[in-house]
Amino acid sequence: MTLERVDWVSPLDARCLEEQHQEVERSERNGHVCSVNETERISADVTYWLGPNAGRTEPAHWPTTGKMPPMDISVRKWRLRLSNDTQKGESFKCDVHPSAGVNLDKINRQYGSPRDFATCLENEADLTVHSSAMEVIMHEVSNPDDGVKSESVVRYTGSAENPVTLTQDEGNTNTSNFAQVPYEQRVEIEFKNLVYTASLGFRKGKKEILHAINGRFPQGQLIAIMGPSGAGKSTLLDILSGYRIRGVKGFVNTNGTPRNLKAFRKSSCYITQDDRLQPLLTTSENMQIAADLKLPLEVSQSEKAETIQAILNMLGLEQTRNTRASGLSGGQRKRLSIALELVNNPTVMFLDEPTTKHKFYLLSTSRGRIRHKSHFRFTLEEALIGLSSSGCGLDSSSCSQCIKLLKDLAGQGRTIVCTIHQPSASLFQLFDQVYVLGAGRCLYQGSTDNLVPFLGQVKYPCPQYHNPADFVIELACEEYGTDIIDTMVTTTEESTSLVQPQKDDEGGLQATSSTNQLKVLLRRGFIKTVRDQTLTYLRVLVNVFVGLMLGTLYWQAGRDGTKVLDNYNLLFSILMHHMMSTMMLTILTFPNEMSILIKEHFNRWYSLKMYYASVTLIDIPVSVVCCVLFSIIIYGMTGQPYEQDRFFMFLVISMLVVFVAQSFGLMIGAVFNVVNGTFLGPTLSVPMMMFAGFGVTLNDLPTYLYWGSYISYLRYGLEGFVGAIYGLERPTIYCPDDAYCHYKYPKKFLQDIAMKGDQFGNDVIALLLILFILRVIAYVLLRYKLMAIR
């Protein structure tokens, strides 16, 4: 159990007084426990405190059995933190000493999920906590004029009755064990006249997103890019990281010289808003894969293990080493995303929305809109608290830990730039620099401490109890008129930077060899294959089930002369199964891998060639196993010729059709999303079936459409099956004495379907050629997709 004392108080604490005013001995609203040991009614005009006159310095008097003097200006808030031995369901209460009071000048707004906290007191002796809390309270400060930052928080641990001062909270991170960035490798980023123009589509023209903006981000600092939606925050981050290169005009310098993009990418990393992790791998396995791919071969496994251990300890992920990424919480996933990129100790880090998601942005925006509606504040806040606790982004505790971690990393010499919508006041104070965008123009750049004076300079001072981050976003949204935008832009352009250029260093981190990349990617692919229930186990079960079902339906059709046409239908059904099951599975799964590929490839984990080679090779064992099981079941149950050569030919054609269908699905999945690919895959497969020679024989195809049979891989698959079953001079097929067998002689059947029984070699060559062409096309399209998004 940990007690934490902070230097402000929220209205929710005052609400506790309101409940006491209503003679509530012990009440619980939305999990907020409030209790006092006084038997007398506490008189206080709480509505007055929280209304338009909030913030006045008139003291509040609590009439008790004895005369109580008002309390002086310092107000402390106590809150209880979790310990490992905390029992769920426990609550706590705090006893208010009769001499305690509240000074309203220190009341500030708070948001979060304040289920459990102790009340505000000045003296440790005034506080008695009777049991442990159920969860950590989330905190944020709203008034920057208090001058309170995270360093000023006094923390306690041990028993509630005898708290012991802590030097560091368990929620904070310790980066002392991780490498400092050498001074000569530190990077300062400067950009001038940066313009970005986006295409609106075919014949729809273009739109300028960024309008000749300038800026400089010093090394060793944590910089926030802020602005409303559509202001260009993510676009600016993409340009500075090198992720977006098309449609960009202007200059980007590193340490005073033009940026070498290749060298810059080697020493930087880009962490996207959505945590793109391998869900089937544990934390330790994800870290090991990252170390094997991002660190040179000269680094030993023991050194890699030490690096991984240091990073996990630093980010508080040691307890989740054996937990799969799919089982991590939102905050843990975000920290793991950062940990993966810290493996090679980058000097520059870019993060897109490290603390929020889109739903949480809507929440925070709505929260900012009600600040002037004091009479409805509690009702609206309670609704918003419910939304925030339902999983819209990271909670306040995780946000605070994430930003503190980034600040510690920046303190080691890294340049860390991140976009953020509307940070809380406490989070806002953690940033060293802030770059505010509005409608593609820079409204402010400088330190967070200078933002409030800057707003006063442009004649729009921030209200006393207003979060400066919220207020500047309101200005950027033109809620106070359009003239303020031009004024802020003009004032910002007239300001000068205080940072001097440094010597450039293009020495980037080494990349591992292609052979090692392929080996590591194959190892990762093997782990995923073993654990993936869809791509592996379900696929095997489906092949076994379909084989048994078709075998039962076409029982012994292969040796009965009266069922030759039925057997022919069976062969085409087998082709349909191989094509649809493999192609659609690839279309449905590969687009989900694209987001991970985009992040890892951009951050130079591996080359696209090695990734593509690993995708090709890792699927071969599963495909072979599925084909062998399916072929054994279907071949035996349907009574096909029991000859080793014929079965081998049947199996080879099956595997080639599966590989071609997978390549076809890969080609579609590399370009289209799941929805479009699901529609396009079956649609493009229809011509393949039309020209396969099944419904319409090859001899009956019109001359002007005959070319379609040459590009249909189903034609070669069907011809290969027919050659394996009815070719090779197969003798007369068994025919019952009491039945008429029109196709008793296989040659007659081959003549009627316009196929030859000796084209197996040509069919194999054609399928291999189509396989190669589709694989090349899929690779080219995948490469184009990676370039197009930039």
Q: Look over the chain and give the mean of its residue pLDDT values, rounded to a whole number.
A: 72
Q: Give the pLDDT confidence of 520-550 residue by residue, as tens digits.
A: 999 999 999 888 877 788 999 999 999 999 9
380 within a domain of the structure (yes/no): no
Specify the CATH number for the domain of residue 399.
Answer: 3.40.50.300
In a domain, 102, yes or no: yes
Among 46, 52, 15, 6, which Cα is nearest to 33's?
Answer: 15
Answer yes or no: are the C-beta atoms of 431 and 448 closer than 8 Å: yes
In a domain, 379, yes or no: no
50 and 146 inside one domain? yes
- Long-range contacts at 29-36 (CB < 8 A, ≥ 24 apart): 30/115, 30/382, 30/385, 30/386, 31/115, 31/116, 31/134, 32/114, 32/115, 32/116, 32/117, 33/91, 33/92, 33/93, 33/116, 34/93, 34/119, 35/93, 35/94, 35/95, 36/95, 36/96, 36/119
Q: Percentage of the chain surpassing pLDDT 90?
A: 22
Q: Go through 395-426 and write b for each residue having 16 or more CB atoms within 10 A of its CB, e for each that does not.
A: bbbbbbbbbbbbbbbbebbbbbbbbbbbbbbb
End residue of a domain, out of 459, 494, 529: 494
Indicate whether 429 and 330 sit together in one domain.
no
Burial 24-33 (b: 16+ CB within 10 A, else e): eeeeeeeebb
Does residue 365 form part of some domain?
no
Final residue before a domain boundary, out of 118, 145, 169: 169
| pLDDT digit string, tens, across residues 31-64 | 333 333 332 222 222 222 233 333 333 333 333 3
Q: Are residues 651 and 776 in the same domain?
A: yes
Residues 74 and 217 reside in one and the same domain: no
Q: Which tens digit of pLDDT belongs to each residue from 560-573?
A: 888 889 999 999 99
Shared-domain flag, residues 292 and 415: no
pLDDT-derived band of residue 396, with 50, 70 and 90 as boundaries?
A: low
pLDDT at 483: 61
Pair (325, 350) in one structural domain: no
Tell me if 520 is assigned to some domain: yes
User: Does one domain contain both 257 and 319?
Assistant: no
Q: Give Cα 111 to chain centroid, integer Å.
A: 25
User: Is 378 part of a structural domain of the chain?
Assistant: no
Q: Do 743 and 771 lie in a common domain?
A: yes
Is 394 within 8 Å of 402 (Cβ atoms)?
yes
**508 part of a folded domain:** no
Residue 463 and residue 412 share a domain: yes
Q: Which of 461, 494, 527 is the last residue of a domain?
A: 494
Q: Is the pLDDT of residue 392 over 50?
A: no
Is 530 found in the same domain as 422?
Answer: no
Q: Categorize the per-residue pLDDT at 385 as very low, low, confident or very high, splitting at 50, 70 and 90.
A: very low
The domain of 421 spans 183-267+346-356+394-494
Note the pLDDT tens digit of each residue in 246-298. Answer: 888 888 999 888 888 888 888 889 988 877 888 899 999 999 999 998 888 88
DSSP 8-state assignment for residue 371? T
In total, how many domains does the chain have? Answer: 4
Same domain, 528 and 438: no
Domain membership flag for residue 361: no
**Whether residue 138 sits in one domain with residue 64:** yes
